[in-house]
Amino acid sequence: AQSVAQPEDQVNVAEGNPLTVKCTYSVSGNPYLFWYVQYPNRGLQFLLKYITGDNLVKGSYGFEAEFNKSQTSFHLKKPSALVSDSALYFCAVRDFHNTDKLIFGTGTRLQVFP
Amino acid sequence: AAGVIQSPRHLIKEKRETATLKCYPIPRHDTVYWYQQGPGQDPQFLISFYEKMQSDKGSIPDRFSAQQFSDYHSELNMSSLELGDSALYFCASSLEQGKDTQYFGPGTRLTVL
C-alpha cells in the first residue's frame, strides 16, 4: 500500500534561516510526489511536484524539493525562511499506475519566528 | 487565474439532515476529486470523476453520493448526516487523469449539530 510519512509535527525556524520539511514515501511503483501548503481556513495550495527528470524540483514562493530514490525521500526546502511561510505543509503521493487519489502525510506545521 | 470554486463555504446542519456541496472546476479541467479533512487530520480521498464518469472511489460512506454534470461541475450529496461528518470538504480539479496536478478549492466547512 502506498503511504507517506512526515516525521515532524512541527518545525521551528528563525526568519532568514534555511528550512527543511521532511517527507518519506512508500509506493510499489514509480511515485508522483507533491507538496501542498495550507494556510488557516484556506484550501490546499500546490507548491511543487516530482514526476520524472531532475531530482531537484523548484516550485512556488522559492521552495524546492529533492527527490531521493535510494532514501525514498522528498524533503521540502527553502534557503531563507519568511514569517509568511508559517503554515501547514502536506506531502502527498500518487501511485503511478493506479488510482486518482492523492495520499497525504499527516502534515507538518512550520513556524517561522521573526 | 481562475481557481476551483466551492459553495457554500460554510454549512451548518442538524443530525439526520441532508447536505449538497457544489464544486466548479477550473475551466477546461475535466477531472474532479472530492476529499474530506477532519479536524487536525490530513485530507482523505472520497471519490473522483473523469468526463462525467466515476473514475475512482475511496473511503466514501454509502450515505454519500456524487456526480459530475455536463458542464463538469460536481455535487456531493450527503444524507443522514452524523456528527462525525463535520469536516472540511475539498474539491480539486485537474486537466486530465494521470500525473497532472490536482488544484484544490477553498473547501466547504460542514458542521453537523
Subunit contact B45:A43, Cβ cutoff 8 A = no
- The model's pLDDT over A45-75, given as tens digits with 9 standing for 90+, comes to 999 999 888 899 999 999 999 999 999 999 9
The pLDDT of residue A49 is: 94
Shortest distance, CA A52 to any CA of chain B (angstroms): 10
- The model's pLDDT over B55-94, given as tens digits with 9 standing for 90+, comes to 889 989 999 999 999 999 999 999 999 999 999 999 999 9
Residue A89 pLDDT more than 80? Answer: yes
Residue A95 pLDDT more than 70? Answer: no
Shortest distance, CA B12 to any CA of chain A (angstroms): 16
Subunit contact A46:B104, Cβ cutoff 8 A = yes
The pLDDT of residue A29 is: 78
Q: Which of B103, B104, B109 to substitute to test the interface with A, most A CBs within 10 Å?
A: B104
Q: What is the mean pLDDT of chain B?
A: 93
CB A102 within 8 A of CB A3: no
Whole-angstrom distance, CA of residue A17 vs CA of residue B15:
48
Choose among A49, A100, A102: nearest Cβ to B97: A100
- The model's pLDDT over B15-42, given as tens digits with 9 standing for 90+, comes to 999 999 999 999 989 899 999 999 989 9
Whole-angstrom distance, CA of residue A76 vs CA of residue A66:
7
The pLDDT of residue A111 is: 97
DSSP type of residue B51? T
Q: Kindly report the length of chain B.
A: 113
Between these two residues, B75 and A43, which has the higher pLDDT value?
B75
Whole-angstrom distance, CA of residue B32 vs CA of residue B26:
10
- The model's pLDDT over B83-104, given as tens digits with 9 standing for 90+, comes to 999 999 999 999 876 668 999 9
Subunit contact B42:A36, Cβ cutoff 8 A = no
The pLDDT of residue B98 is: 61
Whole-angstrom distance, CA of residue B76 vs CA of residue B105:
14
Whole-angstrom distance, CA of residue B88 vs CA of residue A26:
27
- Residue A2 makes CB contacts below 8 A (sequence gap 6+) with A25, A26, A27, A28, A31, A93, A94, A95, A103
- R_g (Cα) of chain B, nearest Å: 13
Whether residue A105 lies within 8 A of chain B, CB to CB, comes out as yes
Residue A99 pLDDT more than 80? Answer: no
Chain A CB contacts of B29 below 8 Å: none
